[in-house]
Structures are given as structure tokens and as C-alpha cells.
Structure 1
Amino acid sequence: MLAKYKYHLLLHFIIFLWGFTGILGKLISLEALYIVWYRVGIASFVIFLYLAYKKRVLRIPKSQFFKVSFVGFVVAAHWVTFYVSIQLSTASLGILCLSTTTLHVAWLEPIIMKKKFSWIEFLLGLVVVGGIYFVSGDFSTDEYWAVLAGGISAFLAAFFAVSNAKLVEEMPSTHISMYELAMGFVGLTIFMAMTDKLDPSMFVMTMSDFYWLLFLAIICTSFAFLVTIDIVKRLGAFTVSLSINLEPVYTIILAIFILKEHELLGSNFYIGSILIILVVIANGVIKNQQKKKTVRALH
């Protein structure tokens, strides 16, 4: 029993770290593209070292390599748009838009995974759209662009999640992550070369930026991912996925205390935020009930 509580506490510590990644989008002075370039590059190298230390076989079939590479490009694009959203507005708004990811999954799963379409999830998605409209009532032009970038980020995150659900059936999740992060790094490097973004200025940063980048890549990405794999084995995938819905709550609380964002955001934002977060949690609870009914039916 004590071991189970230990893993629950560890899970919330990991979610807290993920919530902090949004804050880092404000604390690091580099532009979004460079933040993600460093993040995926360092994180993939750290996971590679871990797998080499564990003497795991790193080869994967060519057919899977191309699938993983494509998803890696999607992951990189997801993080870039996420940090663009934050840098155009606030960490609170960026993470709030990202919290709609699970609701994008509702309509992507029937297409990619051939699952039955859920009208309940579709209706919950409409409520979330209403919540975002309520939140964005008094926004500036930059904040509207931030919502657009955040919405794209949420869609890409959903596509990444659904695609990974298929990939984990074919190969170990540690290998998937290492290759996805590495190919995200390659994809970003090619994109930056094509758009003249590869220049010496990307290596100019403060010591604060340097330390925060290491923290983001090693602790919030590599460490968090490797620990989460063990947590999922101990607590189950549903418990983990439901708890992750608290990430926007942690980010908004951190943004209030660290970035003083409560001074920039009005009451409409927090009312809309509560509505969206409640819908996302309700979506998880409904799925839990459906899962229990399915288990009973099988028995």
C-alpha cells in the first residue's frame, strides 16, 4: 500500500514537472524554435545513453523507422507551436489551449484507430470551444494568434498520442521516444537550415537560459519520461492519463506565483479555465465508467 502511495506522489511530481515546462517558455529568453531544438537534441541523447547503459538493442525495422520519424516531426512541431503560444501571450493561456488535446483525440481515434465515434466526447469538445471563446473575449491580436498556435499544438499532441498508441504495440516505448526525439531534432535542423535560422545567435544565451534548458531537456523530458514508464506499469495507464489532466492546474498555479500572471489575466480567463478543466476531467471520468462497464460485460 505504501509503495502505491509512493508512486502516486511520484506521478504528481512528474505532472508538476510537465506543468513547469510551460513556465520555462517564459523563463528562457530564446525563441520557441531554438528552445525545442535544444530540448529534443539533449533529451534524445540522454535517453540514448540510458539505453546504451542498459545494453538495449537500438535497431528497429525500416518500416517502423519511417513511422517513428514522421511522428517525431509531429512532436517537434507540437512543442514549437506550444512555446510560440506561450511567448505570444501567457503560460496559462498556452497550457489551457493544450488541455484540449484529449478532446481532439475523441475524433482522431475513430479515423486512425478505427474506433467507434463518441457523441459524448464530441459534445464535451463543443463545451471546451465555448470555454475558449469565453476566455478569449477581451484578447489582443497577439493573444488570438496565441490561441491559434495553442490549438494547432493541441491537435498535433493528439495526433502524436493516437499514433503512439499504435506504435507501442510494435516496439518498446523507450526506443520509440528516443527515435522520435532524435528525428524531431533532425527535422528541426533541416527546417532551420532551409529558413536561414541556423546562425551563431542560437548559441548565444545567458547562464540562466543554459541551466533552464538542461533542466527542461534532462529532468522535465528524459527523466520524466523514463520514470513515467515505470509508473504506468505500477498504477495503470488510465490512472496516469486521468491524473495528467491536472497539468494545466499546476501550470496556472505556478504562473500565478512565479510569473505573476494573475495581474495580466481577468476573471473571465479563470472562469473559462475552470470550465475547460472540469470538462477535461469529466471526459476522463466518463471513460473510466465506460471501461468498468466493458470489464463487467467481459465477465
Structure 2
Amino acid sequence: MLSDKLKSYLHLHVIVFIWGFTAVLGALITLDAIPLVWYRMLLATGFIFLYLLWKKKNLKVQRSKLFLLIIAGMVIALHWLTFFGAIKVSNVSITLALLSTGAFFTSILEPVFYKRKLVGYEVVFGVIVMLGLYIIFRVETDYYLGILLGLISAFLSAVFTLMNGKLIKHAAPSVISFYELLTGVAAISLYLLYLTWTTSGERGFNLEFFRLSQMDWFYILLLASVCTAYAFIAAVAVMKHLSPYTVMLTINLEPVYGILLAFLIFGSKEQMHPQFYYGAAIILATVVLNGYLKTKRKIYKIS
């Protein structure tokens, strides 16, 4: 019989595989980034709300943390808008390769958020990551906009991760996620209402906005339920049995899973210049090594 630790480890790989599939779904859905993210956040908010009711979770949060929750929700919305925007103007491989720099941005921003000194090797890793990015920029000249949006998305993912690190001390992760998604969809709704009013219905909320194909509905429901609500809740559950280092190392496989899936589904459309993979490998290896050294330092301090 499998131990709880092994079950959690296998479950974590399933979750990371699902996260990798998120980018593929973004490419399969024919909607532009804004309506895609609006539907995702709206439906995911509903699914998590049902989960909270089922678990009879207390939805109350501290008033002093509401402002931070609102900002975090808007950051998440912008992260997903730039993430799916990058997929739409480039492809899955470019977007996921750039998204892997999020862990590097996190290590650089941590001293600002948690008021600690910048570690020397992180500066060196920063230079190495820049080298990997330079290789990608140099060979994939047709995807500059996608690369730029991917980098912005990675930076925003680091920002909301660090914000959640502060919020997690004051509320349950599922409650935090509910309010952040709710805030994000509210912010996008206000923007769409503004577009509807200023363009006399030519953009924003109109009949075309709500006219989705059956396949788009299927993919969006899959994205909101399995890839968002379920994956988030399950990821929190496996952390009860796994070390932070194991979780971090496994999550870094997300771009690998996603790129492989994209290549299997989209074929030659996802085939990149060989040097692209060299650059992506440099970035990914640096992120993994950075995570290993950070975890080792923490273990040493505790002991």
C-alpha cells in the first residue's frame, strides 16, 4: 500500500501536469485574452465558493487585509491577461519558458517584501538568467511581443506569490483565493463596462462577447474547474506531507510538461529553433539550483 508521502508526491505531479496543460487550453480556446480571463476567473470564483460552502469555511477576513487582497486580485488578473496574451501572440513554448523566470523574480523581490539582504549568488544567477533570455531573444525574433508579455506575466506571478505569503498568515488559502479571484473578475468587468459605454457596444459586453462555441465552453469549464479551482485546493493539501523543496522542484517541471504537451498537440507550430531550448534549459536549471540553495540555507539555519 502506498504511503501518504508517496501518494502526495504522485498527486503533486498530476497537479503540475494540469498546470502545464493550462497553457495548452489557452491556445485551444479561440477567445481573446480579456474574455478568456474574465470567464476563467468568474467560473473559478463560483467553483471555489461552492467548495467553501461545502467545507463550511468562514469567509470573514480582517479589514486591515482587504486592501492587500484587492491589490493581489488585480495583480493576478493582470498576470493571467499577460500570460494568455503571450500565448495568443506567440505560442505555448515561448510563454512557458519565460514564465519559469517567475521563481527568479521572486528571489529578487523577497528582500523588498520581507526586508532581508540580497544573497550574493542570487545576483550571479540573475546574470545567468539574463544570458538565457538573451539567447531566446536572439533566435526568436518573430516573438518579441510574446516574450515581453511572458516576462511581465512572470514578474506579476512573483509579486502575487509574495503578497500571498503575507496574506496566508491571516486567512485560509481557499478564502484568500476566493476574494482575489472575485476582485480580479470585478476589475475586468468594470473595464469591460467602460468599453461598452465608450464604444456604444462595439467592444466590451455585447452579444459577441457571450456567443461562445461548444468547444470553447468545454475548454473554459475545464480551465476554471480542474486547472484552477481543483488544482489550487489540491496543491494546498499535498503540502501537508511534502517538504517545500520537493514542492518547489516539482513545480519547476510545469514548463517542461507544458512544452511537451504543446508539441504533441500542435506539432510543428510549437517547434522552436534549437538555441531556444538551450536558453530555456539555462533558465530552468538556474531556477532549480537557486531553489535548492535557498532550501539548503533554510535547513542549515533551522539545524
TM-score, normalised to structure 1's length?
Answer: 0.95
Structure 1 match to 2:200: none
The answer (yes or no) to whether the contact 2:93–2:270 under 8 Å persists in 1 is no
Structure 2 match to 1:265: 272
Shift of 1:134: 0.4
Shift of 1:288: 2.1
- Between stretches 42-51 and 124-133, larger displacement belongs to 124-133
Where in structure 2 are there 5+ consecutive unaligned residues? 197-203
- Between stretches 186-195 and 22-31, larger displacement belongs to 186-195
Structure 1 match to 2:239: 232
Counting only pairs closer than 5 Å after superposition, residues 1-299 of structure 1 correspond to structure 2 as 2-141=3-142, 143-196=143-196, 197-261=204-268, 264-296=271-303
Aligned residues: 295
Deviations 1:68-122 (A, max 9, x none): 1110000010000001111111101001111000111122111111122122122
| Whole-angstrom distance in 2 between the partners of 1:169 and 1:189 | 29
Shift of 1:262: 6.5
Deviations 1:145-200 (A, max 9, x none): 11111111111100000111011011111110010011111011112222342222
| Whole-angstrom distance in 2 between the partners of 1:31 and 1:190 | 17
Shift of 1:239: 2.0
The answer (yes or no) to whether the contact 1:106–1:122 under 8 Å persists in 2 is no
| Whole-angstrom distance in 2 between the partners of 1:76 and 1:47 | 16
| Whole-angstrom distance in 2 between the partners of 1:292 and 1:144 | 40
Shift of 1:50: 0.8
3-state DSSP of counterpart to 1:132? helix
TM-score, normalised to structure 2's length?
Answer: 0.94
3-state DSSP of counterpart to 1:203? coil
Deviations 1:218-260 (A, max 9, x none): 0000001111111011213332122111111111111111111
3-state DSSP of counterpart to 1:259? helix
List, as ranges, runs of 4+ consecutive aligned residues in structure 1 with deviation greater than 6 Å: none
3-state DSSP of counterpart to 2:139? coil
| Whole-angstrom distance in 1 between the partners of 2:123 and 2:76 | 24
| Whole-angstrom distance in 2 between the partners of 1:17 and 1:261 | 22
- Cα 1:213–1:43 change in 2 (3 A) is same
- Between stretches 16-25 and 260-269, larger displacement belongs to 260-269
Q: CA RMSD in A?
A: 1.4
| Whole-angstrom distance in 1 between the partners of 2:61 and 2:206 | 33
The answer (yes or no) to whether the contact 2:100–2:287 under 8 Å persists in 1 is yes
| Whole-angstrom distance in 1 between the partners of 2:208 and 2:133 | 36
- Cα 1:114–1:24 change in 2 (3 A) is same
The answer (yes or no) to whether the contact 1:94–1:150 under 8 Å persists in 2 is yes
